[in-house]
Amino acid sequence: MLQETMHPGLFLSRIGIGCWPFGGGAYWGDQNQKDVDGVVHTAIERGLNVFDTARMYNDGASEISLGRALAGYRDRAFVISKVNPAKAYRAALREECEASLKGLGMDYIDMYMLHWPINPRGIQHFTKDPEVVKNPPTVEEAFETLAALKKEGKIRYIGISNFGIQQTAEAAAFCPDIAANELPYNIISRAIEAEIIPFCTERKIAVITSMTLQQGVLTGLYQSAADVPAHQAHSRHFSMETGRGTSRHNEAGAEAEVFETVALLKKLAPELGLSVAQLSVAWVLANPRIGCALIGSRNIGELEENIKCLSVTLPAEAKARIDEASQKVFDRLGNSPDYYEHSKERRIF
């Protein structure tokens, strides 16, 4: 089930497990460790190897939960974790890496990513410390430190997350061997198609997708924007009013276009013998330039449904209809892949 990605020698399963809910927390609610164990063990037994976590997920609880579940399975797993840009100073980044290793209970991390690019708006999202905002880490020190950690064997691959073309090129100037870029990509979040995916392909950087189901919107769970929990409706897909104070983007959203697309998915899915979620994942996997699509699975049942996507061949006609419908969302939102800030104040460029 593993396949070589655009980055030579990097083999990943076509779908991976997004571990943000692991450990439980305010955003996703409680998460039973027995369910985590079941998801992780079943995933590995079914041929999946990618598990994506981060220090910031549930204040480190996600890493701890994943580490517990992987006891006895470590050699069959490819673990991704991340450090936020406000902690990318040489000493702080090392401390963060050591803390992740301790939380995971591991000697090495398969891929360690800088979670967001280093720029003023990105830094301000992670810290209010005026000294850090005034004198943020440099791209040079961040990636030289990542390269040193790789040389020491604490990490196997260096990755980036939410980096645009310019930012990737800047990072590569100090660290040429960047293995993967993790970015939002799904039926209603297609901004990376035109430029970033081709750029990464040319540079032999694997693309890993996050937000594959747009936090439940692409499962057909919600009938309208009003049904989406406010804290999950703060992306530019939704109006400021729908976010009810959780949004930062100050844009009108594309709610009508989003749920017109969802309505089409609900019509097509049963015709194809799929759930809406399976159809949504199959659409992402139909793009041969995607190295791995991350999907959250809270229990074995959800995981088993997601795994079925691997055997789906999406008919060309169905894909074309989905592309046409979701193009309307793209036309409203534009080509900014930062779905949480105003399109003219984005953190990704």
Return the SS3 of 107: coil
Q: Is-contact 57 92, C-beta < 8 A?
A: no
pLDDT tens profile 251-303: 999 999 999 999 999 999 999 999 999 999 999 999 999 999 999 999 999 99
Burial environment of residue 342 by CB neighbours within 10 A (0 to 12, 13 to 18, 19 or more) = middle
Dihedral of the alpha carbons of 63, 348, 333, 271, in degrees to the nearest 10: -40
Crossing angle (nearest 10°) for helices 61-69 and 33-45: 50
pLDDT for 193 beyond 80: yes
pLDDT band per the 50, 70, 90 thresholds, residue 245? confident
Q: What is the pLDDT of residue 244?
A: 83
For residue 186, the cross-strand partners are 189
Percent above pLDDT 70 for the chain:
100
Instruction: Write the DSSP assignment of 277-293 as a string of letters.
Output: HHHHHHHHHTSTTEEEE
pLDDT tens profile 122-132: 899 899 999 99
pLDDT tens profile 296-310: 999 999 999 999 999
Return the SS3 of 297: coil
Q: What is the pLDDT of residue 28?
A: 86
Report the chain's mean pLDDT, rounded to a whole number.
96
Cα–Cα distance measured from residue 30 to residue 21, given in angstroms and rounded to the nearest whole number: 8
The set of residues, in sequence order, having a beta carbon less than 8 Å from that of 317 and lying 6+ positions away, is none
> Looking at the domain covering 2-220+277-310, what would its CATH class be?
alpha beta
Model-wide pTM > 0.85:
yes
